[in-house]
């Protein structure tokens, strides 16, 4: 059994940023375990630009952004083991991993940072009828084919769901010579960023069909076409008589991301039903002492810049924990999701909070001319105005320690939206 | 001529309508802040985009990811992609290395965005 001070699971943007910041804080016994052949995670296949505006004040492509962190990891001499799959974590922080090179290995960690990221919701979760023909991929799988393997998944494409990866793939497939017939979205609004809708769909005259869904899939060996119907925006049920058939050989799914928390559960960490990630406090520490969580495995982010920022914090705190400098604090206030708010992170804030922290959440719907309020107990401590809130864009709020003094008897903190839903 | 665009400045996505005379803007309506006004002026006169693409590499099926060194005119995107697809590069390639100079006769270069040993 090998002893490691800080064991980081996952070598994507979260794991890399955590490793770099832990090293810069003083940690010297760090190890990154990565399942794939190379470090960099999903950024390796995100060859479009737009990464790094917050972190580096310039727009980079995914591989360039990842390389900045990989270069640091190499410069600092932080060890990483790729091609290594972690298969178990115990609550007392013994980690079991398998790899071709070393076989079965056990690590005893003083602290663990969970940075496994997320995966895409698959076809099976949609309950769409039809044969299991080829030609149906998640958008990210198609992205891996085109951008990393140099393979083309198909020529006539329909995209179901308007998440950012789907939008990005609409443009990529167009660039590579395919015809993208439509992007079909169940909800009356897109889950993607406005910029991506304009620059990936509008620029190439690809129609975005809001309040529509795929109701049937034709083709037995290979996909032959899909039937798209309009849905009632309230019930989300297809409206009979609105069906339209699109002849296509490829259907890409961009219907949501799920944090990959099997290992987290094994470690006995409490999972939040709102984020499908671990419950954490303001130090990003989970319910198990010394286990931290950050990045998309904690909650799905829009921007990698915020993943890096969050993970850097986890790295520093993991080091503080190893040094015995992270105050053990059992007295916390629960953060409650109020009206219009879902998945606020962190879920717990210490009553002895002494520096400002960030609360992040996703709005439950589209709200115009809205106010986001933070209540400590039943006293409103802060508010922030926003012209528009949409589920596609994560909201970040600053929480100052002074807020807690406004109501010393408070038993909870509520984050809520004040607005008319549009 | 009337042109309609969607602002990308924020999630509001204001629909901006402009009256144009060729490349000249006569009037702009529909924006709700200065970001929108500025975006519309640029987008309506000379719209530009960063282009990212894939390039063939000798001796492997794995492509090299590349980008334009600066935004190019929107109307030249597909010519630019065509020119990139006509080239094959030799390894090793490093991030920032110029792989095509003056793409489509513009001052813009195509540069590598991936380390390939």
pLDDT tens for A338-361 read 999 999 999 999 998 989 999 999
Radius of gyration of chain A (CA): 22
Indicate the helix (H) or strand (E) that contains A250: strand A250-253
Judge whether residue A84 has pLDDT over 90. yes
- For residue A56, CA distances in Å to A13, A64, A374, B71 come to 14, 11, 30, 19
Query: Quick one: which of A355, A356, A366, A353 has its CA closest to A395?
Result: A366
* pLDDT attached to residue A408: 83
CB within 8 Å of A212: residues ≥ 6 apart: A184, A185, A186, A228, A229, A230, A231
Partners of A64 on chain B (C-beta within 8 Å) are: 95, 113-114
Cβ proximity of B3 and B44 under 8 Å: yes
Q: Terminal CA-to-CA distance of chain A, rounded, Å?
A: 57
- All residues of chain B having their beta carbon less than 8 Å from the beta carbon of residue A197 are 6, 13
pLDDT, position A421: 60
Closest CA to A129 of A37, A255, A216: A216
* Overall average pLDDT of the A392-415 stretch: 90
For the cut 80, the answer to whether the pLDDT of residue A117 exceeds it is yes
Give the Cα separation of A408 and A208 in Å (integer): 50
Banded model confidence at residue A135, pLDDT cuts 50, 70, 90: very high
A147 in contact with B at a CB cutoff of 8 Å? yes
- Phi first, then psi, for residue A11 (nearest 5°) are -110, 35
| Residue A57 confidence (pLDDT) above 90 | no
The residue in chain A having the minimum alpha-carbon distance to the alpha carbon of residue B6 is: A198
Q: Do A49 and B81 touch (CB under 8 A)?
A: no
Annotate A136-158 with DSSP letters as a single string. Answer: EEEHHHHHHIIIII-----SEEE
* Residues of chain A found within 8 Å of residue B56, distances taken between Cβ atoms: 150
pLDDT in tens, A90-113: 999 999 999 999 999 999 999 999
Q: Which residue has the higher pLDDT, A408 or A197?
A: A197
Q: What is the pLDDT of residue A330?
A: 75
> A147 CA to chain B: closest CA distance, Å?
7
Q: Reduce the DSSP state of residue B35 to 3 states and report it.
A: helix
**pLDDT value at residue A154:** 97
Three-class SS of residue A80? strand
Residue B66 has pLDDT above 80, yes or no: yes
Separation of alpha carbons A396 and A53, rounded Å: 16
Candidate from A56-60, A209-213, B104-108, B110-114 with smallest mean pLDDT: A56-60
Q: Which residue has the tokens 């970001």?
A: B35
In this structure, are residues B60 and B92 in contact, taking their beta carbons and an 8 Å threshold? no
Instruction: Tell me how crowded residue A82 is: count the other CB atoms within 10 A of its CB.
Output: 15
Q: Give the pLDDT score at A275.
A: 94
CATH superfamily of A2-119+257-325: FAD/NAD(P)-binding domain (3.50.50.60)
Q: For residue B6, give the nearest of A165, A158, A196, A183 by alpha carbon.
A: A196
Confirm whether pTM is higher than 0.95: no
The pLDDT assigned to B52 comes to: 97
pLDDT digits (tens, 9 = 90+) for A359-369: 999 999 889 88
Q: Which residue of B has its CA nearest to A201?
A: B6
- Pick the residue with more confidence: A148 or B12? A148
CA distance A319 to chain B (A): 31
On the question of pLDDT at B11 being above 70, the answer is no
The larger pLDDT score, comparing residue B11 to residue A91, is at A91
- Gap from B95 CA to chain A (nearest CA, Å): 7
**Domain B52-112 maps to which CATH number in 2.170.150.20, 3.10.530.10, 3.30.360.10, 3.40.50.11540?**
3.10.530.10
User: What gap in Å lies between CA A299 and CA A133, rounded to an integer?
Assistant: 32
Q: What are the pLDDT digits (tens) for A203-231?
A: 999 999 999 999 999 999 999 999 999 99
CATH architecture for the domain at A335-421 = Sandwich (2.60)
Q: Are A226 and A216 in contact (CB under 8 A)?
A: yes
Interatomic CA distance for residues A189 and A388, integer angstroms: 13
Domain boundaries, chain A: 2-119+257-325, 122-253, 335-421
Residue B20 Cα, gap to closest chain A Cα (Å)? 19
Task: Judge if A2-119+257-325 and A335-421 fold alike in CATH terms.
Answer: no
Name the superfamily (CATH) of residues A122-253: FAD/NAD(P)-binding domain (3.50.50.60)
Q: In chain B, where does the domain assigned CATH 3.10.530.10 lie?
A: 52-112
A-chain residues within 8 Å CB-CB of B13? 194, 197-198
Number of neighbouring beta carbons within 10 Å of residue A307: 28
Cβ proximity of A341 and A361 under 8 Å: yes
Give the residue-averaged pLDDT of A39-48.
97
pLDDT computed for residue A124 by the predictor: 87
Task: Quote the pLDDT of residue A422.
Answer: 58
Partner-chain residue, chosen from B7, B8, B62, that has the shortest CB–CB distance to A148: B62
Q: Is A167 exposed, middle or buried (0-12, 13-18, 19+ CB in 10 A)?
A: buried
Q: Show the tokens assigned to A194.
A: 């406005």
Q: How far apart are CA A92 and CA A108, in angstroms?
A: 8
Could you give the ipTM of this predicted complex?
Answer: 0.89
Q: What's the mean pLDDT when you consider all of chain B?
A: 91
- Note the pLDDT of residue B60: 93
CA A381 vs CA A27, A345, A385, A399, A403: distances in Å? 37, 18, 14, 9, 5
How open is the CA angle B109-B114-B117, to the nearest 5 degrees? 115
pLDDT band at residue A128 under the 50/70/90 scheme: confident
Whether the per-residue pLDDT at A14 is higher than 80: the answer is yes
Nearest to A291 by CA among A41, A6, A98: A6
| Span A372-383, average pLDDT | 93
| Residues of chain B contacting A, Cβ within 8 Å | 5-8, 10-13, 32, 49-50, 52-54, 56, 61-63, 65, 67, 74, 81, 95, 113-115
Tell me what the mean pLDDT of segment A133-141 comes to. 96
Helical residues (DSSP H) of A217-258, grouped into ranges = none
The average pLDDT across A150-162 equals 97
Q: What was the pLDDT predicted at B10? A: 72
- Contact indicator for A418, A371 with CB cutoff of 8 Å: yes
A368: distance to nearest CA of chain B, Å? Answer: 9
Span A7-33, mean pLDDT?
98
φ, ψ for residue A20, nearest 5 deg? -60, -45
**Residue contact A61–B52, C-beta within 8 A:** yes
Q: Which residue has the higher pLDDT, A125 or A87?
A: A87
């Amino acid at each position: 059994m090998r002893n490691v001070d800080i064991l980081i699971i996952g070598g994507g943007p979260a794991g890399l940023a955590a490793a770099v910041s832990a090293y810069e804080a003083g940690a010297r016994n760090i190890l990154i375990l990565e399942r794939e052949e190379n470090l960099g995670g999903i950024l390796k296949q995100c060859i479009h630009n737009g990464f790094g505006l917050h972190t580096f004040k310039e727009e980079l492509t995914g591989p360039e952004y990842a390389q900045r962190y990989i270069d640091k990891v190499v410069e600092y001499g932080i060890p990483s083991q790729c091609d290594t799959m972690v298969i178990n974590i115990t609550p007392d922080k013994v980690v079991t991993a398998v790899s071709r090179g070393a076989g079965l290995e056990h690590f005893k960690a003083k602290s663990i940072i969970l940075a496994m990221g997320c995966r895409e919701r698959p076809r099976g979760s949609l309950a769409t009828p039809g044969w299991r023909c080829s030609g149906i991929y998640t958008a990210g799988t198609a992205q891996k084919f085109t951008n990393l393997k140099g393979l083309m998944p198909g020529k006539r494409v329909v995209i179901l769901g308007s998440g950012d990866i789907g939008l990005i793939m609409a443009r990529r497939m167009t660039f590579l010579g395919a015809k993208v017939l439509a992007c079909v979205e169940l909800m009356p609004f897109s889950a993607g960023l406005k910029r991506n809708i304009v620059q990936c769909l509008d620029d190439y005259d690809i129609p975005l069909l809001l309040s529509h869904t795929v109701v049937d899939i034709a083709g037995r060996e290979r996909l032959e076409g899909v039937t798209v119907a309009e849905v009632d925006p309230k019930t989300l049920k297809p409206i009979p008589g609105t069906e339209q058939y699109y002849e296509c050989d490829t259907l890409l799914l961009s219907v949501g991301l799920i944090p990959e928390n099997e290992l987290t559960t094994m470690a006995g960490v409490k999972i939040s039903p709102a984020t499908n990630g671990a419950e954490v406090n303001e130090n990003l520490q989970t319910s198990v002492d010394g286990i931290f969580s950050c990045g998309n495995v904690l909650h799905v982010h829009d921007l990698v810049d915020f993943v890096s920022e969050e993970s850097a914090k986890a790295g520093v705190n993991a080091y503080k924990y190893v040094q015995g400098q992270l105050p053990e604090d059992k007295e916390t206030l629960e953060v409650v999701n109020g009206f219009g708010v879902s998945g606020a992170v962190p879920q717990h804030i210490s009553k002895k909070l002494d520096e400002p922290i960030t609360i992040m959440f996703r709005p439950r719907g589209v709200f115009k001319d809205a106010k986001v309020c933070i209540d400590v107990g039943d006293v409103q401590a802060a508010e922030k105005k926003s012209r528009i809130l949409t589920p596609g864009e994560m909201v970040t709020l600053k929480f100052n320690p002074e807020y807690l003094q406004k109501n010393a008897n408070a038993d909870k903190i509520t984050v809520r939206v004040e607005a008319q839903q549009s | 001529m009337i042109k309609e665009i969607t602002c990308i400045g924020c999630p509001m996505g204001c629909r901006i309508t402009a009256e144009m005379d060729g490349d000249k803007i006569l009037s702009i309506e529909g924006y709700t802040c200065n970001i929108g006004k500025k975006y519309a002026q640029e987008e309506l006169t000379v719209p530009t985009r960063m282009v990212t693409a894939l390039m063939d590499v000798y001796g492997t099926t794995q492509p090299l990811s590349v980008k334009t060194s600066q935004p190019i005119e929107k109307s030249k995107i597909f010519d630019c992609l065509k020119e990139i697809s006509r080239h094959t590069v030799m390894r090793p390639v490093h991030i920032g290395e110029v792989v095509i100079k003056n793409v489509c006769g513009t001052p813009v270069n195509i540069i590598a965005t991936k380390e390939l040993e």
